[in-house]
Amino acid sequence: MPHIVNSGARLDRLPISRFHWRVLWLISAGAFLDAFDIYLAGGVIAALLKDGFSTLQLNAVFVSATFFGMLIGAGLAGWVGDRMGRRYSYQTNLAIFGIASVAAVFAPNIYWLIAFRFLMGLGLGAELVVAAGTMCEFIPPRYRGRWISMMGMIINSGLLVATFTGYFVIPNLGWRVMFAIAGFGALIVWLLRKRMPESPRWLESVGRLQEAEAALQAIERETEAQRGTLPPVDRFRNHEQGRVPLSRLFAAGMRGRLTAASLTVVAVNVSVYGFVAWLPTFLVKQGMTIVQSLGFTTLMAFGSVAGALVGMLLADRVARQKSLVATCLIIMALGFLYPMMRDPAAITVVGFALITSIYVLVTIGLYAYVPELFPTELRLRGTGFAGMCGRAASISTPYLAVMLFDRFGVQGVLLMVSGVLACLVAAILALRLETGQRSLEDSHEDPPGAFPESITVGE
């Protein structure tokens, strides 16, 4: 049995090979179906209402069940992923999601559909937690930002695909077919994912050294067969930690990271569910007819992919801290500018820029920065806790947005979104921890001149 597996350094030195592409596609495929299923809900609930299968009130319960399931799923995925392994977690949540989606095809009434939707939510909430954390552990740091952005582009395209699929499928084949597409797709990916190895970083961290060594050797052999002699290992470190209790996540050395991670996910959810999703309604109520729901949804769909492309250009060229702070400030500026637009062309251009900026935050912040903040032994629990905070925000934010709009107009909603983004900027600047272009193990050491990582907003 090797005394030191040194998984981090050995993975980080590898050139990009077919192995990395396989990991990218298998992880991204499951997360894409996750996004597809989340965004199909808009078309499905409209069809449920039109067919008399549901009512407005029960549609609201359907949506709430989705987010409540996702909240629980995010927390459970983090615990399972750090306790039982990344592979076990992502296979379990995909199976739950796939089986529940197939079952929804045969739902005899709306009450059964709501129950199946809650189960789908468990898998949906878990998938992104595991996907981002697992992807980070396999990709070398010099490529990690671009590859995480590629994953983000695939995931974000779920909105675009769901929008256009629903446009053709629901009127012609019915809403049940949408669940069939998502469910059978998830089960196919589940079968393909059985070829993926467990994360050697995680195996070493929990003391399963023989398994970690075997997994690493298999990856190295495959890469060497394709790319030739591998570069030498430039550092040696023992990553074995054993079982680390959840309380460690809230210890002094982790609170600043947990605050920044949670605010990142909350900011994403508030921006999307508290502002973007409601903006067409707000503008129509103000007398603008140019931005209708379908047109704005299409704009949002293309902006989500564009945001990932911009993230791909920035991720390995600009420091995570600088890119996230700049993106937050741009969102705030465009958010205040957008409701003032009256010209159709200006509405389209500024609106597209706003959606693109929000999805740059999603790509760099949600998929890269958040999982990079935590050590391997706490990565999924930290990401899962932040995900739970975000899902709680997605449940409560729409109600708060409507209340603020009724009392203060669009400016009240914008102040809410800007306040959350300002808190995120403060947390990032206070933490002063750069995670880009660094080994995951190195990113858990304070850089020279940094504030203590225990600093949190308000301390």
User: What tens digit of pLDDT does each residue of 45-83 get?
Assistant: 888 888 889 887 888 888 888 889 999 998 898 899 899
Number of other CB atoms surrounding residue 33 within 10 Å: 30
454, 431 in Cβ contact below 8 A? no
428, 289 in Cβ contact below 8 A? no
Q: What is the mean pLDDT of each run of 10 residues along the chain (459 residues)?
A: 77 94 92 86 83 85 88 90 90 92 95 94 86 91 92 86 85 92 93 90 91 94 93 81 82 90 93 72 57 59 85 89 95 83 75 88 92 91 92 84 80 85 94 85 54 34
49, 59 in Cβ contact below 8 A? yes
User: What tens digit of pLDDT does each residue of 3-47 get?
Assistant: 678 898 999 999 999 999 999 999 999 889 888 888 788 788 888
Q: How far apart are CA 119 and CA 191, in angstroms?
A: 20
Whole-model pTM? 0.86
The DSSP code sequence of 222-247 is HHHHHH-SPPPP------------GG
In the chain, ranges of CATH 1.20.1250.20 domains? 7-203, 247-444
Most distant CA pair in the chain: distance in Å? 71
Q: Residue 236 has what pLDDT?
A: 82
CATH number belonging to domain 7-203: 1.20.1250.20
**Residues 167-170: contacts with CB within 8 Å, 24+ apart?**
167/43, 170/43, 170/44, 170/47
Centroid of chain to Cα 375: 18
For 263-281, letters b (16+ CB in 10 Å) and e give bbbbbbbbbbbbbbbbbbe
CATH 1.10.645.10 fits 247-444, yes or no: no
